[in-house]
Chains A and B, each alone.
Chain A
Amino acid sequence: MSQIEARFQAHMGAFKLDVDLQLPGRGVSALFGHSGSGKTTLLRSIAGLEKFTGRLIVNGEVWQDESCFLPVHRRPLGYVFQEASLFPHLSVKKNLIFGLQRIPPTECQIELAQVVEWLGIAHLLDRKPLHLSGGERQRVAIGRALLTSPRLLLMDEPLSALDDRSKQEILPYLERLHDALSIPIIYVSHSIDEVARLADHLVLLEQGRVQASGPIAEVMTRLDLSIARGQEAESILEATVAAHQPEFHLTQLDTAGGRVNTRLLDSAVGSRQRVRIHARDVSIALTPQTDCSILNMLSARVLEMATMTEWQMLVRLGLGPDASVPLLARITIKSCTQLGLEPGREVFAQVKSVALAE
């Protein structure tokens, strides 16, 4: 299977980076952690912008090991920095083609016209970067990286320098990128919202070490990690649009764990959606409730439980026939005791609200 193997060790003053990672060869892998956790350093090492001892293999090609170190400009990667970092002396168009001009024509897989249309930047081509808004600059920077037809796209918090409006402006492009590109993307972020929307694989970094690495639905619901223990703990489910019910302004979505309802969507039946369910919106019943206002009732199995506060319990449920789709529920310890919940118990999860990842 195609994949990325990254192993790095470095000492920089008090900070120590010690990572040994396997990332999937396609889709978006997010490096998530607080500032100072080493996520940017790790990304820079993958790009070759930092030179540490280690080993890096990208889809079968060795970029770094004991005996070789491919310099940055020989690595077929795209890098989007936190600040757009456009060349101020070049027009938008010349910025875009800077990398394109430097790859052999045979390796060119993405054309200028395509990127310009896709990112909606046709009207900016003749301008200088100075006269662009933050969101526009970052779109150009993304286009510039894509035009090198990279085999790996690295993004270092591309949204963090932007205001909320520009963020909302860029996110849809990133989501399209995710759907349209077959190349792997490594995305550094400290925002769980961005991660929940974009990532397929999640790597949790803390103090230069990997705390967890796995499919996002799994890592986000692991009870031993800080994400699940936060107030905003949530589960992520992949879904397809099953049917619309305009009379109630609802749309029904099919997930691997069963059917759920959400507000009426503007997407075609069969299209894919990602949904987010907050742990605080999930309650547990022992029998299916029929006289209840909650529409989303999913059969589940209790997999694991952990005390969260003096009065709250975090329960990891498994949905679907083999209980393989994780769902977090946050309930009181009192309810937990009264219901007699324990791992292995078959229950019903009631989901009060299903939000789309957008």
Chain B
Amino acid sequence: MAFDWQPVWLTLKLASVTTAFLLVVGTPIAWWLSQTRSRLKHPISAVVALPLVLPPTVLGFYLLIFLGPSGPGGQLTQALGVGTLPFTFSGLVFASVLYSLPFVVQPLQNAFEALGRRPLEVAATLRASVWDRFIHVAVPLARPGFLTAMVLGFAHTVGEFGVVLMIGGNIPGETKVLSVAIYDHVETLEYGQAHILSAGMIGFAFLVLVTLYLVNGRISRGEQV
């Protein structure tokens, strides 16, 4: 039987799209959390961190209901004319963004907090507006944080299983990602296929983490990347 590459490409596509959305959504949240003195800081941090402690099936279950035909999210998407999201690629992206959010927000928040107030104050005395300070001072100085956030967000999306199974099911080419494919192969006793995918995942995860540590080590030693 020929090796089926489709789950691999689908997984990479899902992880890339999810990472892009994660940066767009996670950066403002991380920035706000790093700067605010609001009382809402801790409750919001807790909400963002929930996926870390919940079983993925809990998130998947409520997303299924929320995005289903009679849930508020489902009603909205239907009203917008895009149908319902469960068991589609878009639904997977939506769920993955929520599920991997803490892996992006936390490194970014740490990076922004590590800057301290000083560089931003200096920039303000040099006529930089709030937005200007963020783009030209905070973002470049938080670069290691962005790198960590991207890698973790990407890798975590590649590695998810529970949420995907709940909200995406097992539709080849649409929602059948690597982790689900492995499960499938094992269920049908195709151990050879399962081995190829699983060993590939281990190699991939190892490479990603080694690269991350190497790059961050160089940045913290003050070298150019």
Contact = CB atoms under 8 A, between A and B. Distances in A.
Interface stretch (B7-15, B45-53, B118-126): B118-126
With most chain A CB atoms within 10 A of its CB, the pick from B124, B128, B141 is: B124
B12 to A, nearest CB: 31
A145 interface: yes
B133 to A, nearest CB: 8
11 contacts: A47-B125, A49-B121, A78-B125, A79-B125, A81-B122, A87-B122, A87-B137, A88-B141, A88-B222, A89-B140, A89-B143
B119 A72 contact: no
Given A87-B137, A102-B132, A130 B122 contact: no
A73 B222 contact: no
Contacts of B127: 73-74, 99, 102-103, 148
B129 interface: yes
A159 B47 CA distance: 46
B118 to A, nearest CB: 5
A77 interface: yes
Contacts, number: 54
Interface in B52-110: none
**Helix, strand, loop or mixed for chain B's interface?**
helix
A102 B128 contact: yes
Nearest to A75: B125
Interface string A64-107: 00000001111001110101010111000000001100110000
With most chain B CB atoms within 10 A of its CB, the pick from A73, A103, A130 is: A73
A7 interface: no
B140 A77 contact: no
Given A49-B121, A85-B118, A99 B141 contact: no
A49 B121 CA distance: 7
A144 interface: yes
Contacts of A73: 124-129, 132
Nearest to B117: A49
Interface of A: 47, 49, 71-74, 77-79, 81, 83, 85, 87-89, 98-99, 102-103, 130, 144-145, 148
Contacts of B137: 87
Nearest to A99: B126
Given A81-B118, A85-B118, A89-B140, A49 B126 contact: no
Contacts of A81: 118, 121-122
Contact of B119 (A49, A79, A87, A144): A87
Interface string B124-167: 11111100100001001101000000000000000000000000
Nearest to B121: A49
A69 to B, nearest CB: 13
A49 B118 CA distance: 10
Interface in B201-225: 222
A89 B126 contact: no
The 9 A-B residue pairs with the shortest CB-CB distance, nearest first, are A99-B126, A79-B125, A102-B127, A72-B124, A89-B140, A85-B122, A73-B124, A73-B127, A98-B126
B126 A102 contact: yes
Contacts of A103: 127
B132 A49 contact: no
A85 B120 CA distance: 10
Contacts of A88: 141, 222
Given A98-B126, A99-B125, 9 more contacts: A49-B125, A72-B125, A74-B127, A81-B118, A87-B141, A89-B141, A98-B123, A102-B132, A144-B126
A129 to B, nearest CB: 10
A79 B124 CA distance: 10
Contacts of B143: 89
A78 B222 CA distance: 28
A74 B141 CA distance: 24
